[in-house]
Amino acid sequence: MALLELRDLSVSYGEVRAVEGLSLTVEPGEVVTLLGSNGAGKSTTLKAISGLVRPRAGQILFEGRSLMGCRPEEIVRRGVAHVPEGRRVFPGLTARENIMLGASNRSGLSKRQIRAEADAMFELFPDIARFGDALGWTLSGGQLQMVALARGLMAKPRLLLLDEPSLGLAPVIVQAVFRIIAEVRRRGTTVFLIEQNARMGLSVADRGYVLESGRLALSGTPEALWANDDISAAYLGGS
């Protein structure tokens, strides 16, 4: 059974049809990337999965059960964590405190256990050890992205939704973030990743889907997508 399945999903903002009849699957253990140009409907798709926008039609199944109509907190409790675009790190809290907040969906954990788990994140993100006590507002774009990822992982999700993790980051930082995504998958978390940077998205993905004006234009393995000249030129910056 697919971990995540979208069936004929449609989302509108008033008159604007942001997503139209989108069907896709994410299998357990996969990294799947959703590509497309600005305004293609990628963020809207993620927001629908995590309960932040209400679809007009279609079905969203997680582990075979519908997520339609569930509140965002309920969806997190079911095992889906969303790392939003723009990171949303609290400026007045330290990096460590921000990371600890990621466990707030998990009941029965003591503050001490949460602190120990946050410290264990430093293994996956050795850089965070250096800035764990720095306040959110002092962090660089790359550091904010690491904190947002670590916070998402603190929810112990079975599915991690990532919205443009490379946005606004220097190339060397992007490489570091994608190494972490590969490591997250190696440790058993399934990842659904939205990327403008198709080259990076496809470099870690098992499969990709390409959205065009809210509709599915193409899907396949990274190799198959690169090999399609039209798609490569239009969406992937290739030739």
Site string for ligand ATP, 1-40 (x = CB under 6 A): ------------x--x-x-----------------x-xxx
Applying CB under 6 A, the span of 42-50, 90-98, 125-133, 178-186 interacting with ligand ATP comes to 42-50
Q: Which of 19, 15, 32, 26 is nearest to 195 (CA)?
A: 32
- Which residues fall within 8 angstroms of residue 169, CB to CB, at 6 or more apart? 141, 142, 145, 177
Regarding 41 and contact with ligand ATP (CB under 6 A), the answer is yes
- Rounded Cα–Cα distance for residues 4 and 117 (Å): 27
Regarding 72 and contact with ligand ATP (CB under 6 A), the answer is no
Nearer to ligand ATP among residue 12 and residue 175 (C-beta): 12
Q: What's the angle, vertex CA 187, arms to CA 183 and CA 188, rounded to 5?
A: 120
Q: How far is the CB of 155 from ligand ATP (least distance, A)?
A: 22
Regarding 55 and contact with ligand ATP (CB under 6 A), the answer is no
Name residues contacting ligand ATP, limited to 169-188 (CB under 6 A): none
Q: How far is the CB of 218 from ligand ATP (least distance, A)?
A: 15
Q: Which of 51, 55, 71 is nearest to 12 (CA)?
A: 55
Q: How far is the CB of 44 from ligand ATP (least distance, A)?
A: 3
Regarding 165 and contact with ligand ATP (CB under 6 A), the answer is no
Q: Which of 5, 10, 24, 43 is in the footprint of ligand ATP by CB under 6 A?
A: 43
DSSP assignment string, 35-51: E-STTSSHHHHHHHHTT
- Rounded Cα–Cα distance for residues 9 and 211 (Å): 13
- Cα pseudo-dihedral 200, 123, 183, 161, rounded to 10: -70
Nearer to ligand ATP among residue 44 and residue 219 (C-beta): 44
- Rounded Cα–Cα distance for residues 163 and 46 (Å): 8
Nearer to ligand ATP among residue 38 and residue 239 (C-beta): 38
Nearer to ligand ATP among residue 40 and residue 95 (C-beta): 40
Regarding 42 and contact with ligand ATP (CB under 6 A), the answer is yes
- Rounded Cα–Cα distance for residues 225 and 239 (Å): 12
- Which residues are at the interface with ligand ATP (CB under 6 A)? 13, 16, 18, 36, 38-44, 196
